[in-house]
Amino acid sequence: MKNFTLLKWLFAFQFLFILTSCEKDSEFVSPDSEITTYDFTVTAEGNYLENFEGVSKTSYAAASVAFSDGNWYFDDALIGSLKDDRKTDSQSARLRNSGSLTMQFDLLEGAKSISVDYGKFGRDKTSTFEMYYSTDAGVSWTKTGSAITVNKTSLKTAVFNLNVTGDVRFEIRKTDGSSNRLNIDNVLVEANPQVTVPEGTIIEDYESGSKGSYAAGSATFASGNWLLDDALVGSLAGDLKTDAKSVRIRNLGALEMEFDVIGAQSISLNHGAYGSDGNSTWELQASTNSGTSWTSLGPIQTTSGNSLTAVNYTMNYLEAVRFRIVKLSGGSNRINIDDFTIDGTEVDPGTGGGTGGGGGVPGSGAVHLTMGNPSNAVTDITFPTNYLLEKEEYTMSYSRDKGTANWVSWHLDEAWLGSAARQNDFRADNTLPSGWYQVNQNDYSLSGFDRGHLCPSADRTLFVDDNSNTFFMTNMMPQAPNNNRIGWASLENYCRSMLAGGYEIYIISGGYGIGGDGSNGVASYIANGNVQVPSNTWKVIMIIADGDDDVNRVTTNTRVIAIDMPNSQSVSSDWTQYKTTVDDIEMKTGYDFFNLVPDNIENVIEASVDAVM
C-alpha cells in the first residue's frame, strides 16, 4: 500500500513537470489576434527599432515571440545566434522556405520608411523577401517596394519608403520558397506623425533680385536665396515675363531654392521659350533633405512658343522641402521661368527664407564609400563632370566630358570572390543620364589602348552578374597595353593575394592628365574625341585586418599603398617602382581620399610611402 501511495506521488510530480515544460507552448498567439498597441518612442529619435536581441526561439515551428516592445509572430523562422547567422550583435531572425515575421502590434505614429538589414545564412544560395504593411491591425496587407534579392554573406540594408500615417504594422515574407535561409536584423521604422497642413502661399516673381551672367551663383529674392546655374535674371525684350523680370535658363542649367519651406500642397509656375528659340524640356524636382538628393515630380515638361504657359503640380508634402527646375534638353535654346507659387506652405524658420546652400553631398551607407567620397560626387545631372554613379559592385565619379570615370571606389574581401568566369561582355552603360554619350564596346578598337578595368573583373567573381557588371564601359579607361597587362595586372594580383592573410581592402583608382603612349603612339583622345586618354594611372589602397566598424579601426599604423604609373608602353613590370604618397596623388588630382578617417590619422597615413616589399 505504501508503494502504491509513493507511485501516485511520482505520477503527480511527473504530470506537474510536463505541465511546466509545456507552459511556453500554451502562450501561442494567432498572427491575426489583436495585441495591445505600443508608443512609437523606442529610439531617441522617436523611431521604432527591433534588433532581435534578448529573446530565444530555437525551432522553426510557428509561434509568437515576446519582445520588450511587443510580440512578433515567427512562421518557419527562429532566432539565430550561430556563426553563420548574419547579425549586428549576437542574434538575428533566420527564415527558411516561405517563412515570415509579423508584428502583432501597431505603431501609432505611422511610417515614413522602414529599413531592414539582410544577408545569406552560411553558404546557402540566393533567396528573396518582400515587405508588407497593414493599417487595419493585420486584417489585410499591402506590399511596399520591390522584392529584395539576398545574395551576399555580409549584411546589406534595404529601405522601403512610405508615407503612412496612423496605426501601422509590418510583415516580412520570404518569397522564393526554397530551403535557402536568410537573416533579418535591425528593423527600423521612421515615424510619420500627423501634422497640420500649413495654409500659407509663397509667390516668387523674381522681380527683387538681379544676376546678369550665366555663371553659377546665388541671387537673393523676396522668398530667399536661389541658386542659378547656367541661368540669369532676364529683363530683355526676348525674355517672357509677367512684369519686368524672369529667370532665363540655357543648356542643362537649373533654378534651385537654397532654403526649405514647411509643407507644400501645390506648385504653379509660368514658362516659355526665350525670343525665337526652339523647344526645350525640363522637370520640377523636390528635396526633403536640404538638397542632398532630389526626386522628380510629375512628367517632363516641354517649353515651346513665344508666350508664357502655366503648369500646375499637386503634391502632399508636410515636412521641410525645397524645389528646383532642371533643364534637360534643347542645348543653347533658352527658357524663361516666372511666377513660381507654392500653396499650403510656410517658410522654414530654420533656413530663414534662404541663406543656406543646397547641392550637398549625399551620404552613403554603401560599403564602397566607407572611407569617403573623394570628390564629393553627386547623382545630379547639373554636375556632369562629377556625377555619382553607384552599382552594387563599385561606386564612381563619372565625367560626361572625359567619357571615363574620374575615380572608381570598391571594397574587396573574400566574400566578393567565387568561381564565376570572366564574362567579357563589354557594353555601354545605359544608366547614364539621358542625352549623355554612352561609350560603347567598340570605341577603343584600333586605338592602341586597352579597355582597362578600374574595378577589376577578377575582384568580382562570386556571381556571374557581379563579374558582368565590371564590363560596363563606364568602368574602363584607355590604358597602354603594357600598363594594363603587366604592371597594373601585377598590382591587382597582389591586392587579391592579401586577402588570404585575413585582410580586407579599400581601393580607389583612376587616371589624370591628358595624353598616353599606346601601341600606336601618343594620343590624347580616342572614340572620335568622346574619350580622353590619361597620361597617368593611379591607385590608392588601404589594407586593414578583417573586422567591423572599419573607419574606427584605421590607425596611424594602417598600411596604405599609393601608385602613380605612367600610361605608357615603356612602363616597368615592377609596380613597386611607382610607389608614392597619397598626398602626392591628391595634389595631382584635387581629390580628398579617406576623408571620413579622423584628420589626425588621415594626415599620417597619407604622408608616407609604403615601405613593405
| Distance, CA of 281 to CA of 276 (rounded, Å) | 16
C-alpha span between 325 and 327 (Å, rounded): 7
Please tell me the distance from the alpha carbon of residue 320 to that of residue 260, in angstroms, as a whole number. Answer: 6
- Written as one string, the DSSP assignment of 74-135 is EEEEEEE-STTS--SSS-EEEEEEEEEEEE-S-BTT-EEEEEEEEEE-TT---EEEEEEEES
How crowded is the C-beta side of 597, counted as CA atoms within 13 Å? 21
Q: Which residues pair with 571 in a beta bridge?
A: none
- C-alpha distances out from residue 599 to 363, 409, 556, Å: 18, 20, 11
Q: Where do runs of H (alpha helix) occur along 195-273? A: none
Is 507 buried (19+), middle (13-18) or exposed (0-12) by CB count in 10 A? Answer: buried
Is 330 in contact with 280 (CB distance < 8 Å)? yes
CA distance 596 to 394: 18
How far apart are the C-alpha atoms of 589 and 82, rounded to whole Å?
Answer: 46
CA nearest neighbour of 210 among 238, 183, 247: 247
Cell digits of residue 20: 511546466
Q: List phi, psi (to 5°) of 221.
A: -120, 180
Rounded to a whole number of angstroms, the distance between the first and last alpha carbons of the chain is 89
- 14 secondary structure, DSSP code: H
- Give residues with Cβ within 8 angstroms of 588, minimum separation 6: 512, 513, 536, 538, 564
Segment (H or E) for 421: none
Residue pair 342/264 in contact (Cβ under 8 Å)? The answer is yes
368 classed as catalytic: no
What pairs with residue 518 in β-bridges? 521
Q: How far is the C-alpha of 510 from the C-alpha of 404, rounded, in Å?
A: 9
Kindly state the cell numbers that stand for 281. 524640356
Do 478 and 452 contact (CB within 8 A), yes or no? yes
Catalytic residues: 453
